Amino acid sequence: MAIKVPGFFSEFHGKTKSSKDSRFEKCMAYVLFIASSLTPGTLIKNVFFNNKHNRATFINCYVFFKTGLSIFLAISGFNLLTGPAQYWMVWLLAYLSWETVIYNLTQIVYHDFFNQISSFKRNIFLSFANYAEIVFNFSIFYRAMDAVVTNCNVPPNALNWIDYLYVSMGAGGIISYGNYTIVSVGGKSLMIIQSALFILALSLFITFNVSLLINSKVSTPGK
């Protein structure tokens, strides 16, 4: 007896079932897609926006809202919030970062299961916004854990947001000049995770866009 899959999951289920991928690849596709579908952005997009243009508009606004929130909290919000508010802010940003990573992995690794991207420029802009969101979020994580010290004999509580952003950019870009040091196990774990995410996202992003450009040139010869 065939299982009827309701809602926006049905199209993905049908394409996955009919694809030539191995069972392992199909299982990973389901895991990533379900994880992505449980996030607020994906749920709102698929439940409340049926029109393709409206979906794209919502995604644009949602991505830039998350990025703006990360930038605001990194620059000023962390100083404004105290006690339990800081704790909940960190967990909220961790959840939004997880949403961004899972969603992008799903869209990139299994892009052939979704509708074709209509604009390369839009894809580049959104990818940069996602990268900025992750970098600013990790700067807040380092700050919350007091994981950074400097060789200039400045105590951790005297560092400002640009110091933590500098460390986060260094971890994300695998660039460091040695004037800042991660001292805690939690901070070192964060840097390992951020560096791994950066390498994974960069490699997948380059592969993804190169393949799309090649396919577009093959499908439209002479342009």
Residue 195 makes CB contacts below 8 A (sequence gap 6+) with: 171, 172, 174
Contacts of residue 105, defined as CB under 8 A and 6 or more positions apart, other chains included, come to 32, 200, 204
Answer with the residue of higher pLDDT: 31 or 46.
31
Percent of the chain as helix, strand, coil, to the nearest 5: 75, 5, 20
- pLDDT of 69 higher than 80: yes
Instruction: Name which residue leads in pLDDT, 217 or 74.
Output: 74
Structural domain boundaries of the chain? 23-207
- Locate 20 and state its tokens: 């030539």
Distance between CA atoms of 183 and 198, rounded to whole angstroms?
21
d(CA 164, CA 194): 14
* pLDDT for residue 66: 93
Three-state secondary-structure class, residue 6: coil
Would you call 160 helix, strand, or coil by DSSP? Answer: coil
Highest mean pLDDT among 12-21, 28-37, 113-122: 28-37
Residue 11 CA neighbour count, 13 Å, CB half: 7
Q: Check residue 205 and report its DSSP letter.
A: H
Say how far apart CA 160 and CA 182 lie, in whole Å.
Answer: 15
Could you tell me the pLDDT band of residue 89, with boundaries at 50, 70 and 90?
confident
Q: What is the mean pLDDT of residues 34-50?
A: 76
pLDDT tens for each residue of 140-153? 998 888 888 877 66
Summarize pLDDT for 110-122 with one digit per residue, the tens.
666 665 555 667 7
73: nearest Cα among 138, 128, 155, 130: 138
The reported pTM is 0.79
What's the mean per-residue pLDDT of the chain? 76
Cα gap 134→168, rounded to integer Å: 9
CB 101 within 8 A of CB 133: no
Other beta carbons within 10 angstroms of residue 37's beta carbon come to 18
